[in-house]
Amino acid sequence: MSFCLSVFIFFSLPLSLPAEEGLENNPAGSRPSAVMIERNPWLNVPGSDTPRVALYDDGTLVYLKKYDKEHPFYMVKALDRESLKKLRKSVCLTDNFMKLDRYYRLTDITDITGVDIYMSDGKRSKAVSVYGLRQKTPELPAAWLPYEMQYPDKLPDEFLKVYNAMTDIGYQDAGVWIPAYIEILIWPYEHSPAKPLPWPEKWPSPKDPLTRKHGNLYSLYMDGMKLGDLKILFSKLKQNQTVLIDDRRWSVSYRFVFPCESVWNNAFRKKK
């Protein structure tokens, strides 16, 4: 999930690209073994979602606990051998998961959420996407729930089993997770009616050597320890207000950079 501020844009923006592999902060060499992403089509930057759960083969577990307004609140837990073994009884790559198709569509309604799950055992891996799956919420009309849809694809039991297990993950003794890097996403909004908010001089800009350009969209990379400062700036932004960087007005959003996120991003980009 990415967490967007201020401006509501009603035109398509380029898909957010994953962070450069050098920014993924994985010095120990651990690899993702289970990742679940809930896709939100209404993000200001489509495709900039981050995982709800990411489990690594060294026992590192990062999961979304709650939201603080527009901001994410992630937890991290270093699982010991027994805890990891217990979790892997319900969250692991199985032969049944390997047999799943790469894509299922539960509805013909457009612009609703979906779920991606990536699984790996170190030798094999599988990425499966289900469009139209989401938890029941009172905000959604009953007709939007998957079991109400008249579409040929059926949600596989194996996918639902893993999804439910990953949704239930949580530990009382977990700590707050701060990423090594934050990806700040900016795109031009020259005709914003509101006075722009100045961008701090020493913060990343489009001219920064780490910045990546994707069409009109720029990815700026900030040290994760500056998250508090970033939240303060975002708390001052009002609807339709931009930030002023290099004498230009920009809409702004941000997302956390996850260790090894290029692994699952590349897996989901493969052809069905």
Instruction: Identify the CATH class of 27-176+258-269.
Output: alpha beta
Asked if residue 250 has pLDDT above 50, the reply is yes
Strand 125-131, strand 114-120: pairing: antiparallel
What's the pLDDT band for 258 if we cut at 50, 70, 90?
Answer: very high
From the list 70, 23, 65, the residue with the least C-alpha distance to 231 is 70
For the segment 34-59, what is each residue's pLDDT rounded down to a tens digit? 999 999 888 888 888 999 999 999 99
pLDDT band of residue 7 (cuts 50, 70, 90) is very low
Rounded to an integer, the average pLDDT of 139-156 is 59
**Which pLDDT does position 6 carry in this prediction?**
33
What pLDDT, on a 0 to 100 scale, did the predictor assign at position 241? 95
* Residue range(s) of every CATH 3.30.1560 domain in the chain: 27-176+258-269
Residue with tokens 């960087």: 245
Residue 147, pLDDT score: 47
% residues pLDDT > 70 (the chain): 80
pLDDT at 43: 84
pLDDT above 90 as % of the chain: 68
pLDDT score, position 2? 46
Q: What is the dihedral of CA 213, 219, 220, 225, to 10 degrees?
A: -160
